[in-house]
Structure 1
Amino acid sequence: MAIEFRVGTQIKSIRSAKKISQTQLSNGICNINTLVRIEANETSPSFELLLALVNKLGIDMEELISNVRYQNNRTYYNIKETIEDYFSTYQWKKAKKQLELISEDIYNELPIHEQQYVDIIKIEIAKHVDRNFSYAHHLANEALYKTYKDKARYFTHQEMELINIILQFDQSKKHLELTNRVIDWIEQTPEMLRDYHAYMLLLNGISTYCYENDDWQAAYNYAKVGYKVALEKQGTKFIPSFLFTEGLSLYMLNQDQEKGIQDMKDALDFCKVTGMTEFYQAIIFELERYNIILEKGQLR
């Protein structure tokens, strides 16, 4: 059940803080049972009744609304912190349970960029738990265009993350051009202002797209840049992906297969050491898909 902090909760909180009984507050305004139901959020008071209660409590309507918004935001950021902990360890189902605590009331009170953050969480849950990829794609487009305008010259972090997510579903010429335009924009941004997390996300997304479409040279080029950035900017979770893509590309290009093999081995070892089980399995799947077999600690 979603947690919602409605007017009744705040009336009860203020009444208790002022040491006013329900009998005292309701006297001359409404039946005490009506107040009990309002405070339990079982019914919503009319504007006239709410105004009478607020006046008797000695506060104004603006203060009451401010209290409701503050409580909603405090609850949201607590939930957000828990979700981020679960996401960092790929506990998608537990993250979904937390997501369900963000009510529509709380969501609608959030700034647009935080709404987009929640949308991104919904997208990842749709992908990893519900396996509803069409919904994930639809929601990603909807979330992006809450703020993004065509031919924009500036991109927010949420917009860049959503553009990268959409790349998983939309490999049209238009979206590939947009993805590369964002990468170029990041590279032209002064280093101290550069969003390196978004940069690594996009490099990872485009390098993966390239290798899945057998464009091995482009995949290698993007992965090589990404690996360098991940090492310099502590992008730990991106390292095995860039290493594997770089190694697989070299292997398939038949340029330096020995280095390619070592890169792929290093990617697997990195996953083992850091406990990235899910990504380890993803690499094994790709090795099998390309008929590269792990045998006695060697790849061939």
Structure 2
Amino acid sequence: MEMKYLGLEISKLRAELGMSQKELAKDICTQSTISRIEAGEVYPAIDTLLKIALKLRIPVEYLIEMLFYKNVLESERLIKDIEFHLKEHDYKKIISIINKNEISSENIWLNFYLDYLLQTAHYKLKMISPEECITNLKNILISSNQTTIQFRFLHIKINNTIANVYAENGEAIKSLYYYNKLLNEHIHKNYNDYKIYETLITVLYNKCKVLYDINNIEGALDTANQGISKSKETGIISLAGQFLYYKGQCLEKMDFPFKEIKEVYTQALSLFEFMEFPFYIKAIKENKKQYLK
């Protein structure tokens, strides 16, 4: 058994939630016991492990895996490596990395996660059709148990990707069904893990784009405003400039005063410059130059 891996993971997850050892220990055990568990000095009883998992908002199966597998930290490195290339849209590299790594069949969540990324990469490279991609992603959701698929909000990411595939292939109504389902279920809840808000803000942005593309300008404006508000509320501003850009376009279509539109685009440009997004800086300066003089 690998107590040290379990202890390191509990410590990491606790820190991500901004929780002290004392807060984690409350109604479970003593702070000293939590300290010893995190240091890898003692085995927690199964009921203690269950209570810790509930407080950390993760499936207890994940922590149990930590006790039996040495490759957990290696899996974390694999995930970080893949997600780096995902941000770069390097889908060939993602496929190569996944194919080179043999994952134990007993590491259920990681296999679901890698299968999800593999299907997405195959679709992006046109190795499978949109229909095949959607079917395969739905099968992941169907074949997994609820506890496992909800770990690290994988179910939200998969449903968001299904919606994206529908949107990219002209099925706006189906895509909006999935976006709305996710937002209605999660956007108004309070989560300690900020990472879910990154995903939900992305869902809002995707919904905004689809509404604008089908000329539902009022809906797009409402969604852009919601995205701006959520970005401010959470401090996650990576898409705030894009929301402002879409807001400006909506205001243009709705014949708002020039001054108001100019203010929105100016704010968007400031954010693009702050975030160092050269593509968006160039786009807004070229496409909206009349408002930026």
TM-score class, shorter-chain normalisation, is: 0.5 to 0.7
Amino acid at match of 1:158: L
Structure 2 portions without partners, runs of 5+: 1-64
Cα pair 2:262 2:292 within 8 Å, conserved: no
1:229 deviates by: 0.7
Q: Distance in 2 between matches of 1:263 and 1:140?
A: 37
Amino acid at match of 1:189: K
Matched, 1:106 2:103: yes
Tell me the alpha carbon deviations over residues 30-65 of structure 1, each in whole angstroms, 9 at most, x when there is no partner: xxxxxxxxxxxxxxxxxxxxxxxxxxxxxxxxxxxx
Q: In structure 2, what is the equivalent of residue 168 of structure 1?
A: 164
Q: Distance in 2 between matches of 1:175 and 1:297?
A: 34
Q: In structure 2, what is the equivalent of residue 179 of structure 1?
A: 179
1:244 deviates by: 1.1
Q: Distance in 1 between matches of 2:119 and 2:260?
A: 36
Q: Flag the 1:230–1:101 CA change in 2: closer, same or farther, 3 A.
A: same
- Kindly, what percent of the aligned residue pairs are identical? 14
1:261 deviates by: 3.0
Q: In structure 1, what is the equivalent of residue 220 of structure 2?
A: 219
SS of residue matched to 1:254: coil
Q: In structure 2, what is the equivalent of residue 79 of structure 1?
A: 78
Amino acid at match of 2:140: K
Cα pair 2:164 2:206 within 8 Å, conserved: yes
Cα pair 2:95 2:121 within 8 Å, conserved: no
SS of residue matched to 2:102: helix
Q: In structure 1, what is the equivalent of residue 59 of structure 2?
A: none
Cα pair 1:207 1:219 within 8 Å, conserved: yes
SS of residue matched to 1:236: coil
Tell me the alpha carbon deviations over residues 14-35 of structure 1, each in whole angstroms, 9 at most, x when there is no partner: xxxxxxxxxxxxxxxxxxxxxx
Q: In structure 2, what is the equivalent of residue 97 of structure 1?
A: 93
- Which protein is bigger by CA-based radius of gyration? 1
1:219 deviates by: 0.4
1:141 deviates by: 4.0
Amino acid at match of 1:92: H
Q: TM-score normalised to the size of structure 1?
A: 0.58
**RMSD between superposed Cα atoms in Å:** 3.6
Matches within 5 A, 1:117-132: 117-122=113-118, 125-126=121-122, 130=125, 132=126
Q: TM-score normalised to the size of structure 2?
A: 0.59
Q: Distance in 2 between matches of 1:120 and 1:247?
A: 35
Q: Distance in 1 between matches of 2:265 and 2:128?
A: 32
Structure 1 portions without partners, runs of 5+: 1-65
Q: Flag the 1:210–1:174 CA change in 2: closer, same or farther, 3 A.
A: closer
1:260 deviates by: 2.5
Q: Distance in 2 between matches of 1:141 and 1:257?
A: 46
Cα pair 2:94 2:118 within 8 Å, conserved: no
